[in-house]
Every structure is written in C-alpha cells, then in structure tokens.
Amino acid sequence: MSWGQFTLEAEGAGRVHEIGPTTLWLSRAGREWQLAFEGEGDAQSAVLSCTDSSAAPPGLSEPERYLADEGVTYTLTPVLADRSVVVRPEARLHVLPGCDVPLYVSTPVWWRFTIGERVAVERPVSRPSDTWFGPSLREGQLCYASRTRALLSFRGVPPRPARAVTRVLLQNRRETPLEVERLALPVRELDLAVAADGHIWTDAVRVTVGADGEASMVIEATPPDEAGPLSSAIPAREPSPRFQMFRALSALLQ
C-alpha cells in the first residue's frame, strides 16, 4: 500500500512508491529528505505498492531536497485537483423529463507528500490537460479536462489509484430532455475518502435542473453507500456551502 503514514528510521534509508503511473523515490538523512519522481507511465495502471530502496530507480527526476525538523515520519495522501474538473462523458447524455439518473464519474488525483505535519510537495498522479469552461472566453474559468465513461452502475470496477470516483445524481425537472455534454465538477470543495477495497471516493453530488431552467448543486456529507467501509478521509481544499444555486445552466452543465 502506498497511501498512509510511513517511517524511515535508519539514516540514508530510502523507499520507492508506485502509485498508478507515478514512481516516487524518497530518502532521509537527519533533517534532510530527498525526493525524486516520474509520472509518465500508463494512466490506467492499478499498481499501488512500496518497496525499500536506498537508491533511486533510473529514469526519475533529479532529487529535490526538503529540510525539516528532526523526525522519521512522512505521509502520502491522495488529494483532489486544485481547479474544477470538466468531466466529458464518452457520448453525449440525454436525461429524459422527470428522471433521476445516477452517474459514476472519475477525476484525476494528486499525491501529497507531508513530512511530519507539514506539506512538502504535491503533484498530479497523471497530469490532466487544461480546458476553459464558460459561456464565453471572457466569462468562465480555467479547469482541467477529464474523459469519463459515466457509468450507471459501479459494480465490478477495479480500483485506480490515479482517479477518484464521484456519484453525480442528475435530476431533470424540465418538460424536455436535459442534454449533458460536459459537467463542471467543483472538486476543490469535495472531501475525499479511501475505501477499504482501494477505491478513492469523493462526497456524492446532486444536480437538479428545475422547470425554470435554473440549476442547483448539493454536495452530500459523505460518499455514497456503495463506497463501503472507508479507511481514511481527507478534507476538501476549500470547504464551501453544501448547497449552490446557478441562475444560468451553462455555469454548471454544457
């Protein structure tokens, strides 16, 4: 397992963590920690492991030095992206009038390296591309882009350490079908949890489009029940009100 708290007791000891497509090597000597990584592997990789190694594997970046108080403890934690993520299903969706449809979408995660209680560095497990979301180039926000299968059921899906899963409940209260090509997911405002089976989950989200065309988003207090037992929880980057209104549907869905 590569998520959690670890120790490097011996001077000069090192360890290699593999987190999906990322390989991370770290070593400690007194107050100095060295860290090198490479994240160009297969983004779909399900590898999650750690092994002891005093030498960095070939092909990693030049080691960077992090100086801290005396201590032997470090933590590797998954965290959500530092911008909203625009989720694009593989095919355009049409939610029929009066229907409530749960979708399971995935977004990229970052790894965070903490020495003692202090955050040293964080990087994406697999770097997503940038995209713009909004009604025009003057109105909107810079986001990350993410393709997703937008599954209707999550049974049998293997854990992927580079992705976090969000259940989005789409509720269409209009009298016409609701077309969904892209959804802007405010991941900075979602708590994260690692399930006992290895899946990474966020709080569940409920999106309601009213008869008047206004959209609302509710962030639930926990992941959905199907996440099962949770082994750890990571708070949101930017905790916010759990209920948000959007006068323009285009601010949330496109």
Write the pLDDT tens digit of every residue in 112-129.
999 998 999 999 998 899
- Say what the pLDDT of residue 222 is: 86
In 81-129, at which residue ranges do the beta strands (DSSP E only) sit? 85-89, 93-95, 100-115, 118-124
Q: What is the mean pLDDT of the chain?
A: 88
Mean pLDDT to the nearest integer, 162-177: 93
- Say what the pLDDT of residue 36 is: 95
- Say what the pLDDT of residue 115 is: 95
Nearest to 183 by CA among 127, 247, 244, 106: 106
- Say what the pLDDT of residue 17 is: 95
DSSP 174: S
| Spatial separation of the C-alpha atoms in residues 111 and 4, rounded to whole Å | 11
Residue % of the chain over a pLDDT of 90: 53
For residues 19 and 161, is the Cβ–Cβ distance under 8 A?
Answer: yes
Residue 15 binned pLDDT confidence (cut-offs 50, 70, 90):
very high
Residue 42 binned pLDDT confidence (cut-offs 50, 70, 90):
low
Alpha-carbon distances, residue 99 vs 85, 172, 175, 180, 240 (angstroms): 25, 6, 10, 14, 28
Mean pLDDT to the nearest integer, 84-97: 92
| Spatial separation of the C-alpha atoms in residues 13 and 52, rounded to whole Å | 8
Structure tokens at 70: 């005396």
Instruction: Check pLDDT > 60 for residue 248.
Output: no
3-state secondary structure of 227: helix
Instruction: Check pLDDT > 90 for residue 47.
Output: no
For residues 66 and 33, is the Cβ–Cβ distance under 8 A?
Answer: yes
Instruction: Check pLDDT > 60 for residue 245.
Output: no
